[in-house]
């Protein structure tokens, strides 16, 4: 799948189920077992307010979603809340396309930086893209410690 086929558009609430399915498939791609997937499932379903009110964008080929990302404020700090790529599009450049769009969106919105609560399997991608590890954060759904990263826009 060529990344040049991907178009990026603003997500809408009607995308909710398709984006949840994409996030589930992307998370499961890393070999997590069923019990873990049940624990994290609620966090993989974007809520309607998030899709309506926050900058959430979808990369798609025609009407097939290839990935999505979104920003959300947590306690006054901006987080890259979601960054998911469909397993069939991993390695195709869709992740980089979404990342570049996310950085442009963050700049356009005046964010000086943003934080990322990273899955351990995705940390290398974010580090390669220029984010820095600043600590760890405990996942509310699993209790495990996850890499906390920050990307500076200045």
What are 53-89's pLDDT values in tens digits?
A: 999 999 999 989 999 999 999 999 999 999 999 999 9
Q: Give tens-digit pLDDT for 3-45.
A: 556 799 999 999 999 999 999 999 999 999 999 999 999 999 9
The answer, as to whether pTM is greater than 0.85, is yes
**Which element (helix H / strand E) includes 118?**
none
CA distance 4 to 15: 22
Q: Give tens-digit pLDDT for 93-115.
A: 999 999 999 999 999 999 999 99
pLDDT at 90 > cutoff 90: yes
CA distance 14 to 26: 20
The pLDDT score that the predictor gives to residue 1 is 46
CA distance 30 to 2: 23
CA distance 14 to 121: 29
- Going along the chain from its start, the domains and CATH numbers come out as 3-152 (3.40.630.30)
The pLDDT score that the predictor gives to residue 154 is 78
Q: Which two tokens stand for residue 27?
A: 């998370």
């Amino acid at each position: 799948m060529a990344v040049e086929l991907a178009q990026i558009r603003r997500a809408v609430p009607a995308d909710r189920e398709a984006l949840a399915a994409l996030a589930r498939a992307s998370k499961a791609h890393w070999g997590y077992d069923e019990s873990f997937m049940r624990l994290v499932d609620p966090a993989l379903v974007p809520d309607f307010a998030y899709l309506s009110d926050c900058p959430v964008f979808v990369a798609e080929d025609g009407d097939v979603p290839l990935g999505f990302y979104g920003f959300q404020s947590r306690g006054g700090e901006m987080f890259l809340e979601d960054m998911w790529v469909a397993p069939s599009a991993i390695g195709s450049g869709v992740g980089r396309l979404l990342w570049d769009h996310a950085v442009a969106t963050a700049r356009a919105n005046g964010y000086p930086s943003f934080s990322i609560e990273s899955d351990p399997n995705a940390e290398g991608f974010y580090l390669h893209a220029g984010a820095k590890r600043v600590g760890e954060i405990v996942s509310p759904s699993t209790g495990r410690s996850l890499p906390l990263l920050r990307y500076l826009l200045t």
